[in-house]
Amino acid sequence: MQDKPGYKSPLSRRRLMVASVVGMFAFSRAHAQAWPAKQIRVIAPYPPGGGVDTVARAFSEKVSAKLGQTMVVDNQPGAGATIGAAALARSAPDGYTMMVGSLVDYSIAPFFHKNLSFDMARDFVPVLEIGNGTIGVLVTPSLPVKNVQELIALAKKEPGKLSYASSGVGGLIHLNYEMLKQMTGAEMTHVPYKGTSFFQADLYEGRVQVSIDNVLAHLPHIASGKVRCLAVTSKTRSPLLPEVPTMAEAGVPGFESATNYTVFVPKGVSADIVAKLDAAGNAAVREADFRERMLKLGIVTTGGPQAEAQAKMASEIKRWGDVIRKGNIKPS
């Protein structure tokens, strides 16, 4: 029996489907191998001149040379870094838009920003952790404590008597205190300010006694004795303050916190492109001049395989979500 015009047997249809799939895969592979064939946009979700912007520009400069393609920083500040993140989530997953942002910011954001158009775990792929800023437990020099355990004991002995300075409700400095309180029972009175620069004088002069803050702004004052750093909150000691113990060494294992600088791409970017970006980014992070430049900003470079950045995203979401829920912290 002769087939009707246009008729395709089941076997023919299967062959056509296989050929189509193979063709699409070959196109995808060729597209990924050609990447990058044009300029790459790097979103910085903070204003020009700040820490994230500076890191994004330094990183882009290094990686651009390795990829052989221009990388242009696009500042999209506002709403606690969520405007830039929303722009990343909307971008095409073709490897030509990425972002330098913070795992910590986007772990905290859902609790303090209603109706977000993105979800970090759903919409982003963390490619590489560039580095972390060093956070320290800071106390006014007149406070009669020599270490973290003495600070905890004093706070527990007289709950609420000590005051704790932060940059505002729901910010990382505030959540550092909440985590310490939940882990140790150290009860202090939270005093929110508009930012570190607004509480520095009060901390140094003893009007507030404690803060757990990024040490960069405090480094010259730590050196001069205007404020004391009892511990750093990183896993290992910081090259910025090598004589200062970690929180684990100070008797509070598991207390870890840092400002964070991570490279993200939108979900859907091919594994080949992610691997190329990861390799170029790690090569940049390993260069001595880049490490030195970051250290001057108070940032200790990390790098590492993409799987580590992915795992850290999950752990940071859990860490800060648990702290916020347990503390019943609401937007002010």
Q: Do domains 37-131+260-327 and 135-232 have the same CATH topology?
A: yes
Instruction: State the CB neighbour count (10 A cutoff) for residue 23.
Output: 10
- For the entire predicted model, the pTM comes to 0.88
List for the chain the helix, strand, coil content (%; round to 5).
45, 20, 35
Token pair listed for 271: 């594994």
Instruction: State the CB neighbour count (10 A cutoff) for residue 242.
Output: 8
Q: What is the DSSP letter of 217?
A: G
Sheet hosting strand 210-214, strand order edge to edge: 189-192, 163-166, 210-214, 135-139, 228-232
Angstrom distance (rounded) from CA 182 to CA 146: 22
Which CATH architecture is the domain 37-131+260-327 placed in?
3-Layer(aba) Sandwich (3.40)
Q: How far is CA 47 from CA 7, 53, 74, 78, 107, in A?
A: 61, 7, 10, 8, 20
Give every CB contact of residue 332 below 8 A, 6+ residues apart in sequence.
Answer: 168, 169, 170, 192
* pLDDT score of 144: 96
Give the domain ranges of the chain. 37-131+260-327, 135-232
**Cβ neighbourhood burial of 275 (10 Å; 0-12, 13-18, 19+):** middle
In tens digits, the chain (332 residues) has pLDDT values of 455 555 556 555 556 555 554 554 444 454 446 999 999 999 999 999 999 999 999 999 999 999 999 999 999 999 999 999 999 999 999 999 999 999 999 999 999 998 999 999 999 999 999 999 999 999 999 999 999 999 999 999 999 999 999 999 999 999 999 999 999 999 999 999 999 999 999 999 999 999 999 999 999 999 999 999 999 999 999 999 999 999 999 999 999 999 999 999 999 999 999 999 999 999 999 999 999 999 999 999 999 999 999 999 999 999 999 999 999 999 87
Give every CB contact of residue 165 below 8 A, 6+ residues apart in sequence.
Answer: 173, 191, 193, 199, 202, 203, 208, 210, 211, 213
DSSP string, 45-66: SS-TTSHHHHHHHHHHHHHHHH
The yes or no reply on domain 135-232 and CATH 2.130.10.10 is no
End-to-end CA, the chain? 79
* pLDDT score of 155: 98
Q: Which of 305, 289, 300 is nearest to 258 (CA)?
A: 300
Q: What is the DSSP letter of 141?
A: T
* pLDDT score of 149: 98
Q: Which of 10, 185, 28 is nearest to 94 (CA)?
A: 28
**Angle (CA) 211 215 217, round 5°:** 100
